A and B are shown apart, each in its own frame.
Chain A
Amino acid sequence: MDGFTLFPPPSFWDNWLSFWRFEDINVLWVLMGSILLGMSASVIGGFAFLRKRSLIGDALAHAALPGVMMAFLLFQTRDPLIIFIGALCSSFIGFFLIDWLPKNTKIKADTALAITLSFFFAIGLMLLSYIQGLEVSNKSGLDNILFGQAAAMTEEDIQLLTYVTLFTLITVVLFFQKFRLIAFNQDFARTIGMAVHRYELLLALLIVMSVVVGLQLVGVVLMAAILLTPIAAARFWSNQLSHILIIASMLGALSAIISTQLSYLAPAMPTGPWMVVSLSVLFILSLLFAPKKGLVKRYFEFQALRQQVAEENILRTLYKLLERKEFMHNHFTQADIQSFRNMPSSCLQSTLKQLGKKGLIKASTQGVQLTQSGLERATQLTRRHRLWENYLNQQAKLLPEQVHQQAERIEHILTDAQEAQLQRELSNSQSDPHGNAIPTTHKADKTQDAISSTSNTRGGENFD
């Protein structure tokens, strides 16, 4: 493997420059064609994905192979239109077989997909090997459609590609509302009198056409990824279908540019695999770093939530300690807290530090002490906890022993409005099922007065 370099450096840059200067006008056309294909395949793949038929593209692309070979065998020509029509026919037969098998036999849908895919592919390969044994002209290059070869595309190929992809994109834009309705709620579409079947057929036609026209560029074997990966990646970026489809088409176009370029720089290299690899990289980046649903973002959100829960748990513990001392004494050591809430010391210390920074507690010689704002927050949390316990006890008829665990979770996420609603709906909002008083928050400042002067005995009564 020593001394092996993929591209000799100088000629690589020369090639790259000449690619982007479009010295060969054909390059520009191939680039345009592949961008259009990337866009239309991603958009139409989006609808297949929403219909939960993500791998339909895989099966249809494989199913196109015998059609290509048959068309060549019958007409002895490489005319793109004839090949296209042949592929379209066999792809459609495959489409109906996938539909027919699970409906009429015991065979399950996923098995039907695998059967169609491999059976048609085998027919295609058998015909290809048969053709290669024949004495016919221009048979070489027929196998380019297996892995795709952008550089081998002719002008007529590109013309056809452009027409078909533009047709697909325009149709999707025109019928966007209808397709969306079918994708999300077919029953509803049927009840409002839509000809669902007709639109389904149109959608199928578009899928088959996009798959078939992309074979030259991407190849039979990997066509699945071009339909599937962009939409899966785009889903992490938005929740709105139109945005998702636009992002998916951008990703498709980007990977088309990258792979077409590579196909020109290294002519022996098939285009399809590079397109898949670049799409997969885009997918992984989206999975990790998408702003709302990316894994990194979700991880940080999760950590923040955990931090919040830990802080609020300490506040509640302090409140309970305070309650036990009947609000006479507002200094607690870490051991006091740990006796109430099982928590490792390191975690406790860091959480206490955070609480101190937020001004919710302050450290004193005897330990920690709730500040006024800390007490307010702690009271509010306790109030929500106990209100919820009451709610579960009264409305959901849970036993007092069962309510604590659930309240422990819900106290962190209840809102003011929900709190007020609970207050209104509960007949007894003075004490929780365990007999503890439910504190009220607007008295918090009074309570604070009571606590700050530890000699004042009125403190406890305020909480009745």
Chain B
Amino acid sequence: MINDIWILATASLVAAACALVGVFLILRRQALMGDAISHSVLLGIVLAYLITDSRALPVMLGGAVLIGLLTAWLSDSLHRIGKLQNDASIGIVFTLFFAIGVILVSLYTGQIDLDQECILYGEIAFIPFDTLTIGGGGNIADGFEIGPRAFWSIAIVFMIVLISILITFHRLQTVAFHPNLALSLGINTVFWHYFLMTLVSMTTVASFDAVGAILVVALLVIPASSAYLVAKSLKGMLWSAIAYSQTSVAIGYTLAYQLDSAISASISVSAGLLLLLTILILEIQKKRTHNLQKAS
């Protein structure tokens, strides 16, 4: 029972953090960059682990942010220097990084507690067994258990994301909605682009344990898109993205429980179903107002 609570708490934090970041990704038309970064973060995690032999949060965050920013920068350079289309250069960079990541994982399977399965699904069902202890002077048995490692990672990252958005809300708003105005006001849009990419990298790496490298794209893009369809303001969009993500977690968890399927996949599927439902309702509304106009 207590395990279920930890799993649910982790999942809803992951979904909320992804939804918040996803809103800005969608508004800045960087959905594909989110896809790319979530793939390449795998390489960052593997490299950070192989080099430092540690799974501490700062190490993982450092590796992921570095690789995430590298992905963004390389795609941009390839676009400019190689004169390739924007999405083509993104595709070339992230597939290479992800491929190297998968190769490293299968080469060092014995040494990393990562395998191909976990890249895909994450292992949210097992997170309660990997706990953090504090105190005890290095002796784990004496320490005080404070809960799953994955929970605390995502909790910290969620706080970072939340605080960043609260502090820089107006800047982010200007950059997201009026990139040209931002430029003419002297706002460094390049900085804010990479700032957003840093947030994306941190969120994906903290979500990695829970949902894997690919399903995180679903959590980044889908609830934020649903919110994009219904919201009228940025604040409203952020709130409704969170609402959508939490509903998906609730439905997805039930679904997974009933069907005995992977929790992370079920959450993503329910997010998608909610989006389709939203589109359906909007379409019906559109038809109805159309008909009313015709009648009058």
Contacts and interface: CB of A to CB of B under 8 A. Distances in A.
Given A55-B87, A273-B102, A228 B92 contact: yes
Given A125-B215, A295-B81, A117 B35 contact: yes
Interface stretch (A21-29, A107-115, A422-430): A107-115
B225 A115 contact: yes
Contact of A269 (B87, B103, B265): B103
Given A118-B268, A125-B265, A129-B265, A269 B106 contact: yes
Interface stretch (B93-101, B146-154, B180-188): B93-101
Given A113-B32, A114-B32, A287-B82, A273 B266 contact: no
B140 interface: no
B235 interface: no
B88 A54 contact: yes
B30 to A, nearest CB: 8
Contacts of A82: none
Contacts of A107: 225, 228-229
Interface stretch (A175-183, A276-284, A324-332): A276-284
A399 interface: no
B279 A105 contact: yes
Nearest to A287: B82
A133 B85 CA distance: 43
B80 to A, nearest CB: 12
Given A55-B91, A122-B215, A111 B31 contact: yes
B254 interface: no
Contacts of B197: none
B31 A225 contact: no
- Looking at chain B's contact residues, the main secondary structure is helix
Contact of B268 (A58, A122, A229): A122
B92 A232 contact: yes
B70 interface: no
A122 B271 CA distance: 10
Contact of B96 (A129, A147, A225): A225
Contacts of A123: 265, 269, 272
A129 B258 CA distance: 13
Nearest to A57: B91
Contact of A121 (B218, B228, B229): B218
B85 A110 contact: no
B26 interface: yes
A114 B35 contact: yes
Contact of B269 (A113, A119, A228): A119
A323 B261 CA distance: 88
A211 to B, nearest CB: 14
B91 A114 contact: no
A117 B182 CA distance: 32
Interface-centre pick from B34, B221, B229, B264 (highest chain A CB count, 10 A): B221
Interface residues of B, number: 58
B215 to A, nearest CB: 6
Contacts of A58: 35, 91
A54 B91 contact: yes
B111 interface: yes
A122 B99 CA distance: 20
Contacts of A274: 99, 103
B68 to A, nearest CB: 16
B18 to A, nearest CB: 11
A280 B35 contact: no
B218 A146 contact: no
Contacts of B265: 122-123, 125-126, 129
Interface of B: 26, 29, 31-32, 34-35, 39, 81-82, 84-85, 87-92, 95-96, 98-100, 102-103, 106-109, 111, 116-117, 120-121, 214-215, 217-218, 220-222, 225, 228-229, 259-262, 264-266, 268-269, 271-272, 275, 279, 282-283
29 contacts: A55-B32, A106-B229, A108-B26, A108-B31, A111-B26, A114-B221, A115-B31, A115-B222, A118-B35, A118-B215, A118-B222, A121-B218, A122-B215, A123-B272, A125-B262, A126-B268, A126-B269, A147-B102, A222-B99, A228-B88, A228-B91, A232-B88, A268-B109, A269-B103, A270-B102, A274-B99, A280-B92, A280-B95, A287-B82
